[in-house]
């Protein structure tokens, strides 16, 4: 079984179908894919766009650690962890976590684990811009919308 971890940050558009196509493995009957897209509102406020910033070196290392942590828990085939950086518009793909495995139990569980861990651990920061000309760095101490 292929145990490739395809982990990367991208300033270019992420194509979930193309990434899914890289996960074919004859030993894997299951494939679970999570695609996260930019929503048009956050906590009831209209979002116009957002920027993702990353510590590139640390983010890549942590993506690989997340992948290895998943492999310690489940028997997995190839997997993809991909996160956008730079400017994104509403509807753009922000993150893809996808994993192949022999059976569906591992695929579902690992896919959920992968996106939850990516969100919790990988040094990426979201800067949102709202329709009322305010902006916010999500998660920062005392974060709140400020006038740009």
Q: Widest CA span of the chain, in angstroms? A: 53
Candidates 17-25, 66-74, 104-112, 119-127; binding stretch for another protein (CB under 8 A): 119-127
Choose, by CB under 8 A, the member of 83, 98, 100, 101 that binds another protein.
83
In order of 9, 23, 27, 123, 144, the CA distances from 53 in angstroms are: 10, 27, 37, 8, 18
Q: Enumerate residues 23-82 that contact another protein by CB under 8 A.
A: 36-39, 42, 52-55, 57-58, 61
Phi, psi for 63 (deg, rounded to 5) = -60, -45
Sign of the CA dihedral running 93, 113, 143, 83: negative
Q: How many residues bind another protein, per CB under 8 A? A: 33
Q: Which residues bind another protein (CB under 8 A)?
A: 36-39, 42, 52-55, 57-58, 61, 83, 94-95, 115, 118-127, 137-143
């Amino acid at each position: 079984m292929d145990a490739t971890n395809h982990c990367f940050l991208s300033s270019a558009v992420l194509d979930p179908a193309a990434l899914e196509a890289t996960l074919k493995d004859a030993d894997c009957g299951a494939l679970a894919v999570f695609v996260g897209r930019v929503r048009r509102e956050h906590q009831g406020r209209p979002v116009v766009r957002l920027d993702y910033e990353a510590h590139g070196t640390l983010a890549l290392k942590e993506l690989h650690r997340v992948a290895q942590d998943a492999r310690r828990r489940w028997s997995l085939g190839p997997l993809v962890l991909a996160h956008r950086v730079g400017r994104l518009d509403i509807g753009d793909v922000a993150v893809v976590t996808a994993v192949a495995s022999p059976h569906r139990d591992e695929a579902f569980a690992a896919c959920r684990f992968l996106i939850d861990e990516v969100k919790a651990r990988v040094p990426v920061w979201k800067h949102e811009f709202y329709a009322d000309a305010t902006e916010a760095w999500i998660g920062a101490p005392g974060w709140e919308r400020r006038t740009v």
